[in-house]
Amino acid sequence: MELERLEYVERVNQERFRDGVSRRRFMAQLIAAGGGAAGIAALASTTTALADSTATIINTAITAEALAVTYLGAVITGAYANASGTDATVKAVLQAARAAEQDHYNYLQAAGAKPLTLTFTVPSSANPNDKTAALKTIAAAEGLFVNAYLAAVNQFAAGGNYKLATVAASILGVEAEHRALARTALVLGGDSSYAPPNDVAFEQAPLPSVSAVGQQLQQLGFIGGSGSQAQYPGPGSIDSTGVSGTTPPSLSPERTPGMPNTGVRPGSDAGPELGVASGLAGLVLGGGVVAAATALRRRASRG
């Protein structure tokens, strides 16, 4: 590999990966791929995916949300059109999930996201008129959405965009709920292979980026496939009954940069436990022994 090309790869490597371990891993992969132009080409899709732009992330995300709203509408008016008993409960879950996905769509749209498409295709294996097929599709799709938002959290946090990282994490939690609930419905329907429904301790991201998740949806036939077409927002009205928390949380407490939020504003009174915790936090986070002791004495004199 020519020296100039190696230096260029290393510069890009340093920009994309903040820590030395990740940089070394990337370079080891490059060498394993054969180095030179062939090695770069072999890793191009991976490095590009890891460097998704904000526009790519939110445009792919809003497309996935539109797909979810559309497909859930088809399932609610299809397989669960005349639901009763346990199925009626599942239908209510699906209605709430659809409303949540629409709220995600609305937020992303207001943030400037533009769907890549609003016309989707439904493969025969995801028949919305078949309860089992529909629930399996929802469980799998929600797993992909969790993957996408986990990758988005990583990307936004690495770039210092903590507001969008918070939004992505907030959406991720809801998508994980949807996945577990779909798996629960499958278990209640007699499919023990989905037990327990909450089967992970840490949500997983086997695909490295949001764009990779988008490509997976296309490969599965939901975008540009040969199945029947479905247009966003799908059939039936969106029922948001019982759904709250329709906007992302605001996490901007008044505190000194770098200090943990105890829920107590600077200068306010606090109980003895919080006073001790605050003093120790000052010590641990670099306030020094003298500063920590002073804080503790001040708190004690007020108590």
Number of other residues whose CB lies within 10 A of the CB of residue 184? 19
Position 301 scores a pLDDT of: 57
Q: Is the pTM value of this prediction over 0.75?
A: no
Q: What is the CA radius of gyration of the chain?
A: 24
- DSSP reduced 3-state for 229: strand
Mean pLDDT, each 10-residue run in order, the chain (303 residues):
40 45 47 45 44 93 98 98 96 98 98 97 98 98 98 95 95 98 97 97 96 97 96 97 94 47 39 36 38 50 57
Q: Which domains does the chain have, with CATH numbers?
A: 3-50 (no CATH), 54-231 (1.20.1260), 257-303 (no CATH)
Express the helix, strand and coil content of the chain in percent, nearest 5 each: 65, 5, 35
Q: List 228's β-bridge partners, or say none.
A: 122
Tens digits of residue pLDDT in 152-168: 999 999 999 999 999 99
Query: Between the CA atoms of 51, 57, 60 and 62, what dihedral angle is there, to the nearest 10 degrees?
Result: 180
Q: For residue 301, what are the contacts with CB-CB under 8 A and spacing of at least 6?
A: none
Please say whether the beta carbons of 108 and 62 come within 8 A. yes
> How far is residue 270 from each of residues 275, 278, 283, 284, measured CA to CA in Å?
6, 10, 18, 19
- DSSP reduced 3-state for 122: strand
